[in-house]
Amino acid sequence: MEVWAPGARTVEIVVGAPGEPPERAPMVRDDRGWWRWEGERPAYDVLDYAFVIDGEEPALPDPRSAWQPHGVDGPSRTFDPSAHEWRDAGWRGPRDGAGTLGGVVYECHIGTFTAEGTFDAAVERLDHLVDLGVDVVEVLPVAAIPGRWGWGYDGVDLYAVHDALGGPAAFQRFVDACHERGLGVCLDVVYNHLGPSGNYLGRFGPYFTQSHMTPWGPAVNLDAPGSHEVRAFVVENALRWLRDFHVDGLRLDAVHALVDEGERHLLAELADAVADLSAELGRPLDLIAESDLNDTSMVTPTAEGGFGMTAQWADDVHHGLHVALTGETQGYYEDFGGGTRTLPDGGPLDVLAHVLTRGFLHDGSWSTFRGREWGRPVDVDALDARRLVTYLQTHDQVGNRATGDRISAAIPPGRVAIGAALYLLGPGTPMVFMGEEFAASTPWQFFTDFTDEGMAEAVRAGRRAEFAAHGWSESEVPDPQSRATRDASVLRWDELSSEPHASLLRWYRDLIALRRSVIGTSETRFADVICVVEDGGDTFVMTHRGIEVRADLAHDTVTVTTTGVESGTAADCIPTSLTYP
């Protein structure tokens, strides 16, 4: 066992079998600041262990802990990733080796996907995703967090799998079960910050730097003294999920907060390391960035000076759809209503046409919300549109609303069906947020389970203050620390057979089947998409690869027609026209 603690004078290990009195022994330092235990390992398959730095109690968990069964403040537990007997020897990757691009991604929070909130329980619902036509399951962060449940973005043990979800062995079983059904797995990872409770990295070494600040405090140290080991900590973490857990891709949270002024950006280094591992394993491995920079250099190959990501999220497409369907124009939605310095002569449907044919609204244009020009121009003839992930809802866009209400709570099913048709049959890589496909009646609210009462109260107060500024009363904002808030966010699977849920589910299945048959997996271009606003602004028409989506927003109806599809294609086996309702 070893740990990096370059500034420590002494490091001791406290180690023993679970339930047995532990031993305490000194560790030996090398010239790079790594401390190693040279004693004889106890003869047990599983050990609990922790480190004491400079004699200061309590003992701390391993920064690279694979398992925290006693919580984020307790000792670590050893885990052998090679013990699992994998059944996916023939697995070539999503869509039989085609990878993620162009497939249908399903964003899933394991803790609320089922009432049990575990990987093993989620396996029982995977056939639903197969029937829906999903290609890749994107799992929200699984790193160990304080308490029993949360979104996962406050992880503090980045190598561990949260015990309440089932721990690391359960995650391996889940991935194996997905592959058995032909489903790829993309794991959401957070490298831009750690959560505030149970974060001990700073006690071990210079994992953070005051040279750069982020919304969460000091930035992760990617370019200051000691950054070499911190960068390795991140890169090795990513490779571990892909190698030891057979994950097919990673979604990187808020990469714009990875501040790196070094000679080579961490993202490019990571992209090349993942490409090497992909070649070694003989299957595609994808990196999907969440970036608000609106800059296609994010998905430009490293050999061409880019960051080398496979794809990036396209929030502007979401914003355009949301405003056109709901009429909301507050906050960052303001420009998407049209009539601003961005599109002075256009309304929300003109903005929607812009984002569906260019990917970004802010492509070097003025952003009213930011008070500055934002983004960079997009070469629509050169960019493979599959490299932008598009969506109608996400965990952020739902959960960061005051009550976690889904778009289906604000608009009729026919209007949801319009939004679904436009992004599922568009040129990007579409992503469905769990429950969206059947207009789940359950919200997806912001919930936490901090065991530190001071932190718990700070979260409550912060959430209430944030929305009080927008006119929400304290009683209207769910208590994030209440179990009821988490429980209210759990999907209700009994809704699948009742209306309007069943009809919308059939609509999503038909759209995804049409996408698979007609659009397929080859490269797409935004330049191939044509959008027209008709009937004085009541009808929106999108044409893409022989598919016409005609949306009547005055009556909330939509018709999809496979006009122009050549005879003899796979489309011959599907309906030439779909309507909702």
Q: Are 424 and 580 in contact (CB under 8 A)?
A: no
Q: What is the pLDDT of residue 316?
A: 97
- pLDDT tens figures, 124-178: 999 999 999 999 999 999 999 999 999 999 999 999 999 999 999 999 999 999 9
Per-residue pLDDT, 341 = 82
- pLDDT at residue number 337: 93
pLDDT at 460 over 70: yes
Catalytic residue among 12, 154, 248, 253: 253
pLDDT tens digits, one per residue of 356-365: 999 999 999 9
The pLDDT of residue 285 is: 98
Q: Is the pLDDT of residue 114 over 90?
A: yes
SS3 per residue for 518-581: HHCCCCCEHHHCEEEEEHHHCEEEEEECCEEEEEECCCCEEEEECCCCCCCCHHHHCCCEEEEC
d(C-alpha 578, C-alpha 560), whole Å = 5
Q: What are phi and psi of 558, to 5 degrees?
A: -145, 140
| 344 has pLDDT over 90 | no
E runs forming strands in 63-198: 76-77, 105-108, 136-139, 184-189
Write the pLDDT tens digit of every residue in 436-455: 999 999 999 999 999 989 99
Supply the pLDDT for residue 571: 47
Count how many Cα atoms sit within 13 Å of the Cα of residue 266 in the half-sphere of its side chain: 27
Q: Which residues pair with 100 in a beta bridge?
A: none
How high is the pLDDT of residue 564? 61
Q: Tell me the CB-side half-sphere exposure of residue 500, using CA atoms within 13 A.
A: 18
How far CA 478 is from CA of 268, 358, 463, 483, in Å, comes to 40, 38, 9, 10
Average pLDDT, the chain: 94
- Angle at alpha carbon of residue 224, lines to 222 and 228, rounded to 5°: 55
Query: With bands split at pLDDT 50, 70 and 90, how would you rate the model's confidence at 575?
Result: low
Dist. CA 155–CA 552, nearest whole Å: 44
Output the six-digit token pair for 326.
Answer: 């709901």
Local confidence band at 471 (pLDDT 50, 70, 90 cut-offs): confident
Residue 559: band (very low, low, confident or very high) from pLDDT cuts 50, 70, 90: very high
Catalytic pick from 248, 290, 335, 363? Answer: 290
290 a catalytic residue: yes
pLDDT score at 563:
76
Sign of the torsion angle spanned by Cα atoms 530, 534, 537, 542: negative
Per-residue model confidence as pLDDT tens digits over 18-47: 989 999 999 999 999 999 998 888 888 899
63 upstream amide cis, omega within 30 of 0: no
Provide mean pLDDT across the span 482-488: 96
Task: Decide if pLDDT at 340 tops 60.
Answer: yes
pLDDT band at residue 8, thresholds of 50, 70 and 90? very high
**Residues 373-393: pLDDT tens digits?**
999 999 988 999 999 999 999
Predicted pLDDT at 473: 83
What's the pLDDT score for residue 568?
46
pLDDT, tens digit, 9 for 90 and up, residues 256-287: 999 999 999 999 999 999 999 999 999 999 99
> What is the percentage of the chain residues whose pLDDT exceeds 70?
98
CA 396 – CA 392 distance, rounded (Å): 11
Predicted TM-score (pTM) of this structure: 0.96
Long-range contacts, 571-578 (Cβ 8 Å, 24+) = 571/514, 571/517, 571/518, 571/546, 573/517, 574/510, 574/513, 574/514, 574/517, 574/518, 575/510, 578/507, 578/510, 578/511, 578/514
566 falls in which pLDDT band (50, 70, 90)? low
